[in-house]
Chain A
Amino acid sequence: MPDKVIEIHGLTKVYSMGEVEVRALAGVDLLVDVGEFIAVMGPSGSGKSTLMNILGCLDRPTNGTYKLDGIDVSTLDRDERAVIRNAKIGFVFQSFNLLARTSAVENVELPLIYGDLGWSREERHKAAMNALQRVGLKGREHNHPSQLSGGQQQRVAIARALVTDPAMLLADEPTGNLDSRTSEEIMGIFQSLNDSGKTVVLITHEPDIAQHAKRVVTVRDGLIQHDEQVKQLRVNASGIAAPAAPVPVEATR
C-alpha cells in the first residue's frame, strides 16, 4: 500500500471558451499522506472547485500527473474514472445529494450497487447498516431524507461515502448548508474518522471550518499559496453519537 494517497505534479487545467482561454489551475503540486486531514481553502474563482473536480476524478487535468492511491488517474476515460470514484473516493457534498424518496440505508447501499465487490444483497445491507451506525444514525435507517434534519442527512451522506472503504473522503463544503452547532457535529465525525486512520480532504472557504483539519492548503489564482500544518481545533465529543472506537468496514465483513 502506498504511503501517499494523493501525488500531484505540475497540474494545470485550461478551459477554452471560444477564443478566450481560462487558466483555472496553473501548475499545482500537492502530496497527501495516508491518514492526513487536509483542508483546501480559497476564495471563489481561485481554482479551488476545479482542483476539487480533478481530485474527485470528475474531471481530467489538461497537463500534469495525478496519482490517487498509487494509480495514475490523470489519463483515464469516463468509465475508468467512474470505477476509481466508486472504489477510491467517498464524496460528501454541500447539499447532501441524497436520493429523494429513498430510505437512508438504500442511499448508503447505492455505491455498492455500482461497485465490483460482488457482494450479495445481505452483505450490502449489513455494510450499509454498519456505516450508518458509525455516523450515529442507528434507528434512523429506514427514514427518507425528507424525514431527517440537515445534520442527519449529511451523516447519511458520510455513511454513503464510507461504505466502500475508500482511500479518501472528499468533502466539498460539507457544512455549507448547516447551522454552526450542527457543523461542529459533522466536523467531529470527520475528526473521529480521521482518528481511526481515514484520509480526509476538506474543501471549504470558511477558516473556522478549516481549523478542524491538521493541515491547511490555500489556493489562489490557480496556484497553491500557503501549505501549513495547523493546530487542530478538536470538537468536544459530547453530544456526538460516533462510537468511541469506530469499526472499519473490513472488520465487519
Chain B
Amino acid sequence: MKSSVMRISNITMVGLRAIARNKMRSFLTALGIIIGVGCVIAVVAIGNGATKSIENTINALGTNYIMVFPGASTSSGARMFTSNSTLTADDADAIKNECPAVAYVAPTVRSAAQVVAGELNWGTSIQGVGVDYPLIRSWNVADGSFFTDQDVKSAAKVAVLGKTVADNLFPDGQAVGQIVRIKNVPFKVVGVLEKKGGNMMGQDQDDVVVAPYTTVMKRLSGKTKIDMLQVSAVSASQVQEAQNEIDAVLRQRHRIGPNGDADFQMRSQEEIAQAQGQQATILRMLLICIAAISLFVGGIGIMNIMLVSVTERTREIGIRMAIGAKGRHVLLQFLFEAVTLAIVGGGVGVALGIGASLIIKRFLQWPIVVTPTSVALSFGVAAFVGIFFGFYPARKAARLDPIDALRYE
C-alpha cells in the first residue's frame, strides 16, 4: 500500500516536470480555463450582488411602497403613449382622502438643473415632492428640517439637499440657512437629508435636491401635471388593497369605465424588484452560458495540446514503457498533466475573477458578492474539464505499443 501511494506521488512528479519543461505552452493551454473560470466567478458575483441589492432596496423602501405613473391613454381607439401626464395634484389629495389602505401620498415632479451656491455649482436632479416624501421613503433629515405643508401650499422657495449635493456646494458643512440658486431662482436650504448611498443600479441616491412639487412646477419646469405619485400603503399586507382603491378612485376621477383602458399604471415595490430580479437572472444566465462555452473551448484547448504532446513525446512514452511503465502509469501521467493544467488554470481564474469583481465594485460602484459556492463550483468544473478532455489523449498514450513508440522519430 505504501509503495503504491508513493508510486502515485512519483507519477505526479513526472507530470509536474513535464508541465514545468513547457512553461509557455502550459500557460497558453491553461488560458482558456483561466478565462472561463474567471468569467464564471465575476458573473456570478455580479449577479449575486444585483440580487442582494434588490433585496436591500425592498427592505429599505419597505414592501408597502407603490408608484403610480401616468400611462398609455386611449385616443380614438388607438392606444398611444403620451408625454402629457394625466395625473394631477388633486388626484393625490383624492387618493389620500378616499383610500383607507393608503397611508401617505407624495406627488412627484422630476427635473434636472445646475445648482449654484456662491462660487460653486453642481448639476443634479431636482425632485419636486409632497411633504409625505420622507415618510414614504423612510428618509430622514440629518440636519435642519423637511419643508412643511405650508411651504407646499404657498410654493415656497425652499429646498432640502441630498448629502452629495450639500457636500459639493457647502464643503464646510454649513448648508442649512444658505441660499442656492436653481435656474436663477434663489432657494433657501432648510435641511440636508441623511446619506443613503447607491441604489441597485449603482446611482448615487444622495445626488438630489428635494423641493416642494408646487415650487418646482411653477418656478422651474413649468409643468402643470405631475410625473408620478409615490404612495405608501398602511402595511405590506394591504398593498393589493391600496392598489385596488387607487385604481377605483383614479378611474372615477378620470372618467374611465371598469373595462376601459386606464390612463395610469401602478407598480408596487415588489413588482419592480421582481422585474429587475428577472432581468438580473436573464443577464446572469446569458453570461453563464458564455462562460460555460469558454470553459468548453478551454477544455478543447487542453485536449488539443495534450494530443500534440502525446504525439511529440511518443518516444518518451516508449522509453518509459520499455523500462517498466504500465499503461496505467502513462495514463495517470498524462491525465495528471491535464488535470493540473485545468486546476491551476482554475485557481488563477478564481483569483482573476475575484480581482475583476473587486475592480468592478470599486470603479463602477456595483454591489458585488463573491460566494464560496461559486468558487468551489467553478474549481470543480475546471477539474472535471481537465479529466474529461485529458482522458482521451492520455488513453491514446497508454495504448501505444512500446516497440512502435521506441522506433518513432
Contact = CB atoms under 8 A, between A and B. Distances in A.
Interface in A69-91: 78-79, 82-83, 85-87, 91
Interface in A87-106: 87, 91, 93, 97-102
Contact of A118 (B6, B320, B321, B325): B6
Interface in B311-340: 315-316, 318-329
A98 B319 CA distance: 8
Contacts, number: 64
Contacts of B6: 118, 120
B315 A113 contact: no
Interface of A: 53, 56, 58-59, 78-79, 82-83, 85-87, 91, 93, 97-102, 110-111, 113-118, 120, 160, 164
B319 A99 contact: yes
Contacts of B11: 113
Contacts of B320: 110, 114
Contacts of B316: 99-100
Nearest to A113: B10
Contact of A116 (B3, B14, B319, B322): B3
A194 B2 CA distance: 35
B14 A113 contact: yes
A78 B322 contact: no
A123 to B, nearest CB: 11
Interface of B: 2-3, 6-7, 10-11, 14, 17, 21, 315-316, 318-329, 402-403, 406
Among B6, B319, B324, B329, the most chain A Cβ lie within 10 Å of the Cβ of B324
Given A58-B402, A101-B21, A116-B3, A111 B319 contact: no
Contact of A91 (B323, B325, B328): B323
B406 A97 contact: yes
Contact of A114 (B2, B323, B402, B406): B323
Contacts of A87: 324
Contact of B325 (A100, A114, A116): A114
A79 B328 contact: yes
Nearest 5 pairs between A and B by C-beta?
Answer: A86-B324, A118-B3, A114-B324, A113-B10, A111-B323
B401 to A, nearest CB: 8
A89 B338 CA distance: 31
A117 B324 CA distance: 13
B19 to A, nearest CB: 12
Given A59-B403, A101-B21, A114 B319 contact: no
Contacts of A97: 315, 318-319, 322, 406
Nearest to B17: A102
Given A111-B324, A117-B3, 6 more contacts: A53-B403, A79-B326, A82-B326, A110-B320, A114-B7, A114-B320
Contacts of A59: 403
Contacts of A99: 316, 319
Among A58, A101, A111, the most chain B Cβ lie within 10 Å of the Cβ of A58
Nearest to A82: B326
Given A101-B21, A114-B329, A82 B315 contact: no
B327 A78 contact: yes
B148 to A, nearest CB: 84
A82 B3 contact: no
Contacts of A100: 316
A148 B324 CA distance: 25
A43 to B, nearest CB: 19
Contacts of B10: 113
B26 to A, nearest CB: 14
A82 B324 contact: yes
A111 B10 CA distance: 11
A100 B18 CA distance: 11
B14 A83 contact: no
A40 to B, nearest CB: 17
Among B17, B323, B328, B406, the most chain A Cβ lie within 10 Å of the Cβ of B323
B395 to A, nearest CB: 14
B322 A91 contact: yes
B327 A58 contact: no
